[in-house]
Amino acid sequence: MTTVDFNQFYEMLQAAARSVGAEITSPWFYLQLGIILVGGGVGLAGGAAIRSRLDMTSLGMGWPAPLRLFLRILVDSAWTAIFALVISLTRVGMLQSTWPSRSYLLAVSAKLALAWLVIRLVTSILRNEFIVRLISLSAWCVAALSIIGQLDSTLEALDAVSIEVGGLRLSPLLVLKLGVLLAFALWLANIASNFLEGRINQSRDLTPSIQVLLIKLMRLGLMVFAIAVVMSAVGINLSALAIFSGAVGVGIGFGLQKIFANFISGVILLADKSVKPGDLVTIGDSSGRISAMNTRYISVAAGDGREFLIPNEDLITQKVVNWTYTDKNTLVKVIFGTNYDADPRLVCKLAVTIAAESPRATKSKVPSCLLTEFTEAGMKFSLTFWIPDPDGMDNVKSDVMLALWDAFKREGIRVPYPVREIRIRGGALPVETVVEVQN
């Protein structure tokens, strides 16, 4: 159902047109316009002179960042203050010599300039340039309508057009109020959540996964609370949104199963602490350290510049190897072999010594070397030792194997290689040839 009051809107436009027409036909309008142009020129010249004489770097040295930003905006807006001052002084002089209606345009211009100056100084606490411009322009438009006395008429005109949906009356005025208040409420909620996040991250009594869980729940709770408060403030009955909640339920049932499943899986992962930021994990063919946990996925840094974004549902339904779940100590296993000419006891002794001398080896746990198999080509050994964490495990393994190679060359121990025997029969004399093939 739509309700439109065009008569009221038309009458407002007629009144505004008559007022503008009366102003334009008066010779005092052009005098005031000339004074405004002169005042603008004086303001711009004065602002440029102030900026050229002030060194902002040295002037704000040692000041907190918000005060330096406030000072910079104040200097940049100096021309606006000068313009407002010149126009105000000119209007005072005109009031002494003529009727107030003949300097009405000057009064409006001075008030608009002062309103813009105040708005720019107030919004200096914001860091986002787009948000600053949006808020400044919106607030100045409201101030301008109030100064010229058209704010109430404009609000009534915006509220005259409405649409009723399920008992909810929607009008342009309601949408504007909802958007402004919602943006402000979410901004405050973001500030509060950042403050609480800093306090949670500073806590040493909470594990990283619990910290992430509390931060996510806190942000979600503050956003829901802000939206509910704003809707109640603009007069929207939350029970009227039941139809939308039903639509969301249908959407989850048909098209949002994966998104909802990943969200719930993320909450479960944060609660049961099976994985947490900083853990080294292997999921399928992907290995790396967890750099971030989000409500839909986790980010696994591979160490070579790549990051795997793995859905939370995969961590619940698939096999996950967590190298640092309960203990960061990691067992490194090196498999190698020698030929049968080597003394296996000497080989084990050399291997244990080399592993113990590794800078990353855990000194409290003695390395072990075992003879595991007699093969066709030679003997197989298994060297195991511990390192305090799995970072750089392949590098440690490579360093130990290189040290083994140097020791074997020094002791005359040979690494086995395949031997193939080829027998050739035929001709007057049997020929038997043995060929060694080294891979």
Domain 330-411 has CATH 3.30.70.100: yes
Tokens describing residue 296:
């839909």
Q: How far is CA 109 from CA 33, 115, 401, in A?
A: 10, 10, 83
What angle do the packed helices 344-356 and 393-411 form, to 10 degrees? 140
The DSSP secondary structure of 141-190, one letter per residue, reads: HHHHHHHTT-HHHHHHHHHHSEEEETTEEE-HHHHHHHHHHHHHHHHHHH
Q: Which of 207, 194, 387, 361 is nearest to 279 (CA)?
A: 207
The pTM of the full predicted model, rounded to 2 decimals, is 0.47
Q: Phi/psi at 430 (nearest 5 deg)? A: -65, 135
Across 285-354, the runs of DSSP E, i.e. the strands, are: 286-293, 297-301, 307-311, 320-322, 330-338
Bridge partner list, 121 = none
Residue 173 and residue 155: Cα distance in Å, rounded? Answer: 7
The gap from C-alpha 317 to its chain's centroid, in whole angstroms, comes to: 28
Q: Which of 385, 390, 338, 347 is nearest to 363 (CA)?
A: 385
Bridge partner list, 298 = 293, 310
Q: Which of 213, 436, 218 is nearest to 339 (CA)?
A: 436
Is the pLDDT at 203 greater than 60? The verdict is yes
pLDDT in tens, 41-72: 888 888 888 888 877 666 666 677 667 777 78
Q: Which fold has domain 276-322?
A: SH3 type barrels. (2.30.30)
Is the pLDDT at 254 greater than 60? The verdict is no
The DSSP secondary structure of 65-76, one letter per residue, reads: HHHHHHHHHHHH
Q: Rounded mean pLDDT of the chain?
A: 78
Residue 135 and residue 118: Cα distance in Å, rounded? Answer: 12
Q: Which of 275, 277, 260, 255 is nearest to 318 (CA)?
A: 275
Q: Which of 326, 325, 293 is nearest to 312 (CA)?
A: 293
Whether 200 and 211 have beta carbons less than 8 Å apart is answered as: yes
Is the pLDDT at 5 greater than 60? The verdict is no
Query: What does the pLDDT read at residue 439?
Result: 40
Q: Phi/psi at 270 (nearest 5 deg)? A: -70, -30
Residue 393 and residue 381: Cα distance in Å, rounded? Answer: 19
Tokens describing residue 257:
């199963």
**Range(s) of the chain covered by CATH 3.30.70.100:** 330-411
pLDDT in tens, 391-421: 778 889 999 999 999 999 998 888 887 666 6
pLDDT in tens, 280-332: 888 887 888 888 887 788 888 887 778 888 888 888 888 888 877 777 788 88
Residue 10 and residue 12: Cα distance in Å, rounded? Answer: 5
Query: What does the pLDDT read at residue 353?
Result: 92
Q: Which of 82, 31, 75 is nearest to 56 (CA)?
A: 75
Q: Which of 147, 168, 349, 329 is nearest to 243 (CA)?
A: 168
Query: What does the pLDDT read at residue 351?
Result: 93
Residue 102 and residue 156: Cα distance in Å, rounded? Answer: 29
Q: Are strands 162-165 and 2-3 parallel, antiparallel or unpaired?
A: antiparallel
Query: What does the pLDDT read at residue 346?
Result: 92
**Range(s) of the chain covered by CATH 2.30.30.60:** 276-322
Residue 40 and residue 46: Cα distance in Å, rounded? Answer: 10
Average pLDDT on 11-17 reads 61
Query: What does the pLDDT read at residue 407?
Result: 92
Q: Is the model more confident about 231 or about 362?
A: 362
